[in-house]
Amino acid sequence: MSDLRSERFNKKSVHFNLSADAHGAFRIACFERNLSMQEVFEEFVQQILAQTPQVIRMLDEISDFKKNKTERKFSKQDAESIFDLIESENRFKD
């Protein structure tokens, strides 16, 4: 009984936002399988803790995509174009 009690009181709450479309699709996918969203996230985290290769690979792919996306957003050429535009529009210039 103490194991159940300690598990219950040692939980952490997680809060994050999803787009309405992503939330709806996730909710439907869970509902069709008679799962709660909580159960799916808990299992996902357990798979990370177990270092399941497929899940770790997915995390690595998401991380790589995020890095590449950020790099594309702020390339050197983009930054130079932005500074050139600001400079050409600077009203306080002599």
Q: Dihedral through CA 27, CA 33, CA 39, CA 44, nearest 10? A: -90
Residue 37 and residue 57 in one domain: no
Handedness of CA 73, 76, 79, 84 (dihedral sign): negative
Least confident of 4-8, 48-52, 67-71: 4-8
Residue 4 lies in a domain: no
Reported pTM? 0.61
Residue 75 lies in a domain: yes
With a cut of 60, say whether residue 5 has pLDDT above it. no
Residue 67 lies in a domain: yes
Report the length, in residues, of the chain: 94
Full residue range of the structural domain in which residue 57 is found: 52-94
Please give the Cα distance from 52 to 45 (Å, whole number): 10
The better pLDDT of the pair 68, 40 is held by 40
Residue 81 and residue 65 in one domain: yes
* End-to-end Cα distance, the chain: 78
With a cut of 80, say whether residue 8 has pLDDT above it. no
Q: How many separate domains does the chain show? A: 2
pLDDT of residue 57: 94
